[in-house]
Amino acid sequence: MKGLTLKPLVSAMALTFALGACSSNTVSNDDSNIAPNVVAQQIIDNNATNPFFKPYDTYMGIPDFDKIKPEHYLPAFKAGIAQHKAEIQAIIDNPDAPTFANTIEAMEFSGELTTKVASVFYNLTGADTNDELQAISKEVSPMLSSAGDDVLLNDKLFQRVKTVYNQKESLGLSVAQHKLLEDTYKSFTRGGANLSEADKVKLRALNEKIGKLSLEFGDNLLAETNAFELVVERESDLAGLPQDVINTAAQTATKRGHEGKWVFTTQRPSITPFLTYADNRDLREKIYKGYIERGNNNNANDNKKILAEMAALRAERAQLMGYKTHAHFVLEERTAKTPENVYQLLNKVWPAALGQAKAEVADMQALIDSEGGDFKLAAWDWWYYSDKIRVAKYSFNEQQTRPYFSLENTLKGVFYTANRLYGITVKERTDLPKYNDEVRTWEVFDKDGSLMAIFMGDYYVRDSKRGGAWMNAYRQQYNMNGVDSTPIIVNVLNYPRPVGDEPSLLTFDEASTLFHEFGHALHGMLSDVEYRSQAGTSVPRDYVEFPSQVMENWMTQPEVLAQFAKHYKTGEVIPQALVKKIQAASKFNQGFATVEYMAATKLDLDWHTLTDFTPKDAAQFEADSLNKMGLIGEIAPRYRSTYFSHIFAGGYSAGYYSYLWSDILGADAFEAFKENGIFDKATADAFRNNILSQGGSEDPMLLYKQFRGKEAGIEPLLRSRGLLSK
C-alpha cells in the first residue's frame, strides 16, 4: 500500500464519505427527546476524567495517549456527535439571512470534539489496533455516518447553503472561500440533498450496508494476514536466503511460539525476500499462494460475497444519485473526471508495459531452460528469476545495497533533502507522548526557526498494524476561527525490526518508500491554509499521491546518496560504481511493476463500472476481468479482489488509478528540478508555494500549471520506466 494516505475526519461531510454513511440513531433512544447540547453536557459531566473532554495537558497538544483508554472513545464520540448536532441546529435556527460566515464558515468550524476523537481513534485502528478498538469501530461507524447523513440530508440546512451558493459571484470571496463554498454545496448535492424523502431513506439504508461491509472486509483481511505462517523446520530449506532475513525469521518464530524454527509471513518485509532469494520452489509457491489467496479461502474470513455485495450496493447508490456507475459518481470529483478518461490513460500505457513484461518472461524462461529447469515460469518464480537476471545484467541485487540503507541513515537522507529544498530542520524528542513504544517523535522547524509541526514515525511491522505504508494527521494545520493549529503528522510503515546488534536494514525499494511517505508528510506539515477541510492532503485522490511521487526522485540522486547512503558498520559512502549499477538497473523489471499495478487498476474500474445491482460471483468476475485485459498468467494483479483493501476497506474505490495519474504529474514535475538543479531554490519555493502549502484551497490542476507553467505530459513517466526510448 505504498503511498496510501489516510485523511482524518474533519467535518460532518467528511464523515459521510470516509465511513460510507450508515443509518443509526445519533444518540441512544433514551436521549432522543433531550436537546443535543444537554445530551452532550450530561455525557461530559458523567465522564469527568475522560481525556477527550478537556485540552490535552501535553506539549503542543499532542494526544495524551497514556491517559486515553478504550472505554473513553464511545462516550467521547456520543458527546461529540451531540455537540455537532446542536451546532448544526443553531445554524438552521439562525434568524438572520444566510451568509458565508453564518452558514458555510459556521459549518466548517463545527464538530471540533468529533474530529478530536476520530483523529486519534482511526489512526490507532490502522496502526495499533486490538479487539476492543475493532469492536468499538463497528459500533461507532454507523453513529458517525448517520450524523453525516443527518447533515447532508437536512433540507433546511441545504436551503441555507443553496442561498449562499446562488450568491457566490457577488460575495467578494477569496479563492479559498470560493472553493469552500463550492465543495460544501457539492457535498450536499452529492450526499443526496436533492433526493425525495423516500429516496433519502433508501440512501441511508444503502450507506449503512456499505459501511458495515467495509469494516467487515478490513477485519477479515487483517485476520487472514495474521493467520498465515510458513514454518520452516529444516535449515536446508533456507538455502539462498540472506542471513539477516534468516535471523528475522528466527525472531518471528520465537515470538509466535516456534522456538528453534523459522517463520515467514505474508507481510511484505517477510514474503518479498523469501520470494526473491529462497531456492526452494515449493515453499515459494506455498507462501505466494498464502498471500494471493487471502480472503479467498471459503472460511469465516472469506471476502468474496462481501466485496461483491459492496460493488452492487455502490452501483445501486450511484444510480439513485443520478449517475451511470459508482465510478462516474466518484470521478466527477477527481481531476480525471470520468472513467472513460481513466481507461483512455491506461490504454496508452498498457500495451508498452505488457509488451515489456512478456519480454521479461522470455528472458526468465530462457534462464530456467539454460539451468536445466523442466518447468514453465510461474508467478511465484518471478522475483527469484528476475533477481538472477538483474545480477547477470547489472551485477547488482538489492542485498548489495542493504548495508547502506539502514533506517537511521535513510531518515537522515530524508531530513537532509527536506532541509536543502525547504530549509526545514528537525529535532528528535524522546519525552513526548506516543501511542506505542516504537514510535519516534521529532519537532520540525521552518527555515525561520519557528516550530512548524510535530512529526511521528512508526516504522516496524507488528500484528496490531495493518500492512502497507501511509501518512496521517493527528491534527491538521489550519488558521481559522482564531485558532492557529500546528499540524501533528505521522508516517506509518512496516519495516523489519533490528535483530541483535544489527540495525534495521532496508531494501532499495523500502528506502524509496520512506522518501515517498515523507513526501506525504511534507504535504501535511508545509500546509498553510485557513480552513481545516482544505489542509494538507485534503485534495482529490488522484492528486494526493503527486507530492510523494515527486519526493521519491531525490533518493536516487548521487548528491543525496552521498549524504546518507553509508555502510552501517564502516561508515563508507556507497561507492559510485554501485550507484551507477542502481541507476542502470532502475528501469529493470518495469514491465512487471507497471503491469501488476495496472491490472489492479483495471480490476478496480471493472468492479465500479457495473450498472446492475445483482452481486456477482467474485471469483468469476475477477477471472473474466483479467482475461479481458489480456493479463499473462505469470503476473497477478498487485491486489486481487479479496484483499484489495484500497477499494473495499479504504477510500480508493474507482480511484486506484490515482498512483499512475499522480506519477505522471510527479515525473513531469521533477523534470523542472532536473532542468534547473535538483536543489534549485526558486523551483523548490515554487513547488512549496503552489503545491505543498495550498492543500485543497484551489483547483489542483490550476495549481500544477502555476508551478510548471504547462500541463503535465506522459512522456517523462514512460521514459522513467523504460517504456519509451529517449
CB 107 within 8 A of CB 11: yes
End-to-end CA distance of the chain: 30
Residue 466, C-alpha cell as written in the block: 495493518
Query: Of 208, 224, 398, 517, which is the active-site residue?
Result: 517
The packing angle between helices 243-255 and 268-277, to 10°, is 140
CB 148 within 8 A of CB 12: yes
Q: Coil, strand, or helix at residue 310?
A: helix
Cα–Cα dist 145/203, whole Å:
12
Cα–Cα dist 188/149, whole Å:
10
- Give the DSSP H/E element, type plus range, for residue 551: helix 546-555
- Give the DSSP H/E element, type plus range, for residue 458: strand 451-460
Cα–Cα dist 361/592, whole Å:
9
Q: Coil, strand, or helix at residue 588?
A: coil
**How many residues would you count in the chain?**
726
Buried b (16+ CB within 10 A) or exposed e, 464-498: ebbbbbbbbbbbbbbebeeeeebbbbbbbbbbbbb
Looking at the DSSP assignment, which residues form a beta bridge with residue 491?
A: 457, 471
Cα–Cα dist 475/535, whole Å:
10
Selection from 281, 240, 288, 282 nearest residue 264 by Cα: 288
CB 265 within 8 A of CB 253: no
Q: Coil, strand, or helix at residue 508?
A: helix
Cα–Cα dist 171/99, whole Å:
9
Selection from 68, 167, 12 nearest residue 436 by Cα: 68
Could you count the other beta carbons within 10 Å of the beta carbon of residue 682? 10
Tell me, what amino acid is at 88?
I
Selection from 549, 550, 539, 551 nearest residue 655 by Cα: 539
Cα–Cα dist 618/623, whole Å:
9
Examine the residue annotation and report whether 309 is marked as an active-site residue of this protein: no
Tell me, what amino acid is at 356?
Q
3-state helix, strand, coil in the chain (%, to 5): 60, 10, 35
CB 287 within 8 A of CB 230: yes
Looking at the DSSP assignment, which residues form a beta bridge with residue 483?
A: 480
Buried b (16+ CB within 10 A) or exposed e, 507-524: bbebbbbbbbbbbbbbbb
Cα–Cα dist 444/91, whole Å:
38
**Catalytic positions, please?**
517
